[in-house]
A and B are shown apart, each in its own frame.
Chain A
Amino acid sequence: MLKVGIIGTGNMGKAHARGWAHTPAQLVGFCSQDVRGGDVAAQYGVPLLEMDALLDICDAIDVCAPTHLHSQMVLRAAAEGKHIVCEKPLARTHAQGVEVVEACRKAGVWLLVAHVVRFFPEYWRAKQIVEAGEIGNVAVVRLTRASFQPRPAADNWFLDPEKSGGMILDLMIHDFDYARWIAGEVTSVFARSVRGTDPAAPEDYCLALLQHASGAISNIEGGWAYPPPLFRTALEIAGDAGLIEHPAGGSTPIGVHLKHKGGDVGADVGVPGSPLTEDPYTTEIKHFYDVLTGKLPTPRVTAEDALAALRIALAAAQSAQTGRAVQIAEVV
């Protein structure tokens, strides 16, 4: 039986734990710096352990820690010969990303990066339709993912660009990955962001234009500037033989408009969702389980894919700061 340990008890640690509970894997423990970590562990009836102790008793480690800690944790786990599931972004810097991919390759362990958007059914459906040639060659990709400013998490790491890489690395990387999945390798990025020119701005918003080697072009919108609890995602893929549209709110199956008496109704972090029998985080974890147990030969998202997405995000951040278009090859 596959034994899994989770590092992190925040939103993603909890989402992944729910996913693992739907697999035959055994959750053996959590590692967390959060004061509420013990409660999460208790909920699953497993211990809260130091990372070394957790590594000792698991076959695979699921890294849901703040971004700046990913690479050191992945390197430790790879050195112990453990398989790794890692939240996106793969790492905080490109050099770290290259290092972890290389270390996992050498150690012969899986490095499965949680680009969950590839497991959201509407995005997966669109991917399959493009792959089937239904809309011909891809010309223009438009992706939106925008929400409100996350509330301060444990040690406020989300809002510290040194730790999280900011909105571009944390949020927009989903769509950088998806655009590349749909339209192929990205060659250049041009981006404008509020924080790119004003690092002290209270919130962030960014528009990025990508050129792909195929000739396709992409418009990626990301934001942490909406009023809570608004979270909008949208996708549009235009080809030379058809068009896929999924406007923001375009396939919301239920509308609930309840009166509420003041108070706080928002979440800490915006997470998109639609009523489904299986939430996409669970779909993702079940897929990872199948890869780790040899049922699937290759994952839907490879470590190299995650590294490429990181590189696009870093290029966007660089472009937003310098005001110049950045060639992907320049990001080292």
Chain B
Amino acid sequence: MRIGLMSFAHLHAESYLNALLHMPDVHIMGIADDNMRRGGHFATAFGVPLYDDYAELLHDKPDAVIVCSENAHHLPLVQMAAAAGAAVLCEKPLATTVEDAYAIQDACAKMSVPLMTAFPMRFSPPAVEVKKLVDSGALGRIYGCNATNQGSLPEFHQAENLTFLGRSWFTDKALAGGGALTDHIVHLADLLRWYLSDEVSEVYAVSNRVIGVGKVEVETAGLVMLQFSRGTFASIDCSWSKPAYYPTWGGLTLELVAEGGLTTLDAFRQNITVYSDRVGRPEYAAWGSDANAGMLREFIAAVREQRTPAVSGEDGVRAVEIVAAAYASVASGQPVKLG
């Protein structure tokens, strides 16, 4: 399996490449990046080749590519890759607009190449355990879900000596599509669609920019209510509300309140707390299984079998529709219907 990496604008690219390098049946062809200095930095760091541009990488006929560009650039890169016959794993959110999301799906369908949206939470063992519990029927009717996917302000993603990596785009509306709503609704929206085997029929959202005011132009906090068609409702806190010195990057939690009782998930709770004089503050050291590796194994299997991956392009499109509805609700002050 020959895999190429298209852009390292998103910091998840490092995690994906790191996981792929541990897989014996995978050959990393190299990195192409429109930011050559960034591409060169990671090519050197991981000891993999650097291509001059995306066309050169695709000319070498990869079986699959991983697209980790700025959100707004997903569409042109996926179109190029699909046209070259490469399967695509695209970072979330699939696109910054519903139109682009559909165009991405269409481009891959037209060339019959598998398209997967990078929703690794579906491969997180604690999250999978909850899915099994839901499917077992033990919870009965699920009334509601109180969920959080919080992080810190993305300006903290980038160390000062690494500004050449160009990762300040997370708070650039044109490149990211928006702020906290764009960044942190989709994982939970997708997880809940999967858990409930149901679609969102209505979305309500509120947002603000209290945190990071004067520093960024996008919303930095948001609360969203999803109404599912069969009755379950779920609130999602997608805020960038964790301080820079929080012991970890953030987290993903949910509480399912059901006829059968309460089920809680704290997906990144598998950590040990470390107090080091060197760091000067508590830090969580994660020991849980790597969900990215599970996601990448599924992607590779789907490419090999030329089938639709367990998390499809359509799943990515649905999540983008939910985000778009959240922005429409913020604008109108009322819930917005979907579907």
Determine which of A137, A238, A323 lies in contact with B335 in the assembled complex, contact meaning CB atoms within 8 Å.
Answer: A323
Q: How far is the CA of A255 from the CA of B324 in the complex (A)?
A: 45
Q: Report yes or no: A243 in contact with B242, Cβ–Cβ below 8 A.
A: yes
Q: How far is the CA of A109 from the CA of B208 in the complex (A)?
A: 41
Q: Report yes or no: A211 in contact with B206, Cβ–Cβ below 8 A.
A: yes
Q: Report yes or no: B241 in contact with A140, Cβ–Cβ below 8 A.
A: yes
| B262 contact set on A, CB distance < 8 A | 146, 225-227, 230, 232
Q: Chain A interface mostly helix, strand, loop or mixed?
A: strand
Q: How far is the CA of A208 from the CA of B281 in the complex (A)?
A: 35
8 contacts between A and B (CB under 8 A): A138-B210, A139-B211, A139-B239, A140-B221, A190-B204, A205-B143, A207-B234, A225-B262
A284 within 8 A of B: no
8 closest Cβ pairs, A-B complex: A238-B241, A139-B210, A192-B233, A205-B143, A207-B235, A240-B211, A215-B208, A217-B206
**Interface positions of B from 281 to 308, Cβ below 8 Å from A:** none
Determine which of B227, B237, B335 lies in contact with A219 in the assembled complex, contact meaning CB atoms within 8 Å.
Answer: B237
Contact-residue size bin, chain A (C-beta under 8 Å from the other chain):
35 or more
Most A CB contacts (10 A, CB to CB) among B213, B243, B258 go to B243
B64 within 8 A of A: no
Q: Report yes or no: A238 in contact with B257, Cβ–Cβ below 8 A.
A: no
Per-residue contact bits, chain B 246-277, to A (CB 8 Å; 1 contact, 0 not): 10000000010111011000000000000000
Nearest A-chain residue to B260, judged by Cβ: A227
Q: How far is the CA of A144 from the CA of B257 in the complex (A)?
A: 12
| A218 contact set on B, CB distance < 8 A | 223
Q: How far is the CA of A303 from the CA of B210 in the complex (A)?
A: 30
Q: Give the distance to chain A from B209, nearest Cβ to Cβ, in Å.
A: 8
Q: Given that A146-B257, A194-B143, A217-B208 are known contacts, is A242 also in contact with B243, CB under 8 Å in the complex?
A: yes
Q: Report yes or no: B146 in contact with A207, Cβ–Cβ below 8 A.
A: yes
Q: How far is the CA of A223 from the CA of B204 in the complex (A)?
A: 21
Known contacts A206-B144, A242-B243; 7 additional CB pairs below 8 A are A139-B241, A140-B237, A192-B144, A211-B206, A217-B207, A232-B262, A243-B243
Q: Given that A192-B227, A238-B239, A240-B213 are known contacts, is A139 also in contact with B220, CB under 8 Å in the complex?
A: yes
Q: Report yes or no: B208 in contact with A216, Cβ–Cβ below 8 A.
A: yes
B334 within 8 A of A: yes
**Interface positions of B from 222 to 239, Cβ below 8 Å from A:** 222-223, 225, 227, 231, 233-235, 237, 239
Contact-residue size bin, chain B (C-beta under 8 Å from the other chain):
35 or more
Q: How far is the CA of A19 from the CA of B183 in the complex (A)?
A: 49
Per-residue contact bits, chain A 35-51, to B (CB 8 Å; 1 contact, 0 not): 00000000000000000
Q: Give the distance to chain A from B207, nearest Cβ to Cβ, in Å.
A: 7
A71 within 8 A of B: no
| A206 contact set on B, CB distance < 8 A | 144
Q: Report yes or no: A225 in contact with B257, Cβ–Cβ below 8 A.
A: yes
Per-residue contact bits, chain A 221-265, to B (CB 8 Å; 1 contact, 0 not): 101011100101000001110110000000000000000000000
Determine which of A205, A209, A219 lies in contact with B257 in the assembled complex, contact meaning CB atoms within 8 Å.
Answer: A205
B126 within 8 A of A: no
Q: Report yes or no: B227 in contact with A325, Cβ–Cβ below 8 A.
A: no
A26 within 8 A of B: no
B212 within 8 A of A: yes
Q: Report yes or no: B212 in contact with A240, Cβ–Cβ below 8 A.
A: yes
B333 within 8 A of A: yes
Nearest B-chain residue to A202, judged by Cβ: B259
Q: Give the distance to chain A from B72, nearest Cβ to Cβ, in Å.
A: 26
| B334 contact set on A, CB distance < 8 A | 324-325
| A207 contact set on B, CB distance < 8 A | 144, 146, 225, 233-235
Q: How far is the CA of A205 from the CA of B334 in the complex (A)?
A: 21
Q: Give the distance to chain B from A180, nearest Cβ to Cβ, in Å.
A: 16
| B234 contact set on A, CB distance < 8 A | 207
Q: Report yes or no: B335 in contact with A325, Cβ–Cβ below 8 A.
A: yes
Q: Give the distance to chain A from B185, nearest Cβ to Cβ, in Å.
A: 14
